[in-house]
Amino acid sequence: MIKSNEPLDHPHWKAVKDDWCHADQEAAKKQGWILCASIGLDDKEPPFRLYRDDWAERLLKDDEAAHAKVRKLVTKNDPLGLKAKAFLLKHSKAEHDAVFPSPPGESH
């Protein structure tokens, strides 16, 4: 995982910079969550993940709390939450589906 304070000019971000920019990441950090590029050796690892920001001033309890926060933003039609959801759907479908699970009987 890339540290939350690593700049988004890291190679993993260059291809997606138009979909999630520094201003987006800074706004997310103020809320206690971030999007990170995965750099694990496992091909099953999603390319991007949504995590709590471990360096936040107001630390969320855990990654699930970060997921819940972004889900809540989406239900309120918050632009940053909607942008994070769209980013994950486009660039990291497995993480999108983990953060935004479909209700039983529905699919994305």
DSSP, collapsed to helix, strand or coil, labels residue 38 as coil
**Which domain, by its residues, includes 38?**
11-99
Indicate whether 48 belongs to any domain.
yes
Asked whether 90 and 48 are in contact (CB, 8 A), the reply is no
Indicate whether 56 belongs to any domain.
yes
* DSSP count for the chain of H helices, then E strands: 5, 2
pTM of the model: 0.84
Q: Specify the number of domains making up the chain.
A: 1
Per-residue pLDDT tens digits for 58-95: 899 999 999 999 999 999 999 999 999 999 999 999 99
